[in-house]
Amino acid sequence: MNRRIFVSLGLGLGLGGLLLAGCGRSVSSESQDPDPDPAEVADPQAPDPESAATVDNPAYGYFAGGCFWGVEHFLEEMPGVLDVESGYMGGSAAPTYEEVSTGTTGHAETVRVTFDPGKITYEAVAKRFFEIHDPTQVGRQGPDIGDQYRSAVFVTGPEQRAVIDGLIGRLKANGYKVATEVAEADKFWLAEAYHQDYYERTRKVPYCHAPVPRFDEPPSE
């Protein structure tokens, strides 16, 4: 589907039943679970980024590209991806969605991708990430504006950083002015329950994410 048609469709559906001021703002308060205590939002069982990746001990990637609903939706479609969870990374304290929404906590809406390295590579997951959001946008993604919607990859070590640097280099060679932040992975805070698997549960359409083949084609004028 043409990208403009896809985005227009998403915006049209959104304006009919959603408020596009940001991810959680389009969820009616009636459908939300009560906000958990920040201590419960934190994920004390987060995997060790330096642990060896095997089928019994899967690999992990952390990606931020605007509203985590859309990033989660498209990445969990990939064969070999075992799970995608919405959460927050980049800040120093346990956050709630309302706090992250102020854009002042340092957190970015981030997904943690759990994948089987025997079936899919980190590079394949990262390449898909760069093709489902616009990595040239600064401090926003589509209609969602704020530092919490920035484009970022949080890497777990030098191997992941080398993969990301290589992909960004390919995008720049194709003419894209990549603004994606690359930083070391830190604490991943699991988002509230009503953010998880949002599009699967509601059967709605992502409003600011759509696949675009950026690695094989230069940007359109």
The amino acid that residue 71 corresponds to is V
103: left (phi over 0), alpha (psi -120 to 50) or beta: left
- Strand pairing report for 181-184 and 151-155: parallel
Token output for 130: 């760069």
How many residues does this entry show for the chain?
Answer: 221
| From 41, 42, 67, 120, active-site residue | 67
**Among the listed residues 110, 186, 190, the one whose alpha carbon sits nearest the alpha carbon of residue 150:** 110
CA dist., res. 111 & res. 156, Å (int)? 14
- Strand pairing report for 108-115 and 81-89: antiparallel
Tell me the β-bridge partners of 60: 114
Catalytic residue flag (residue 23): no
List residues with catalytic annotation.
67
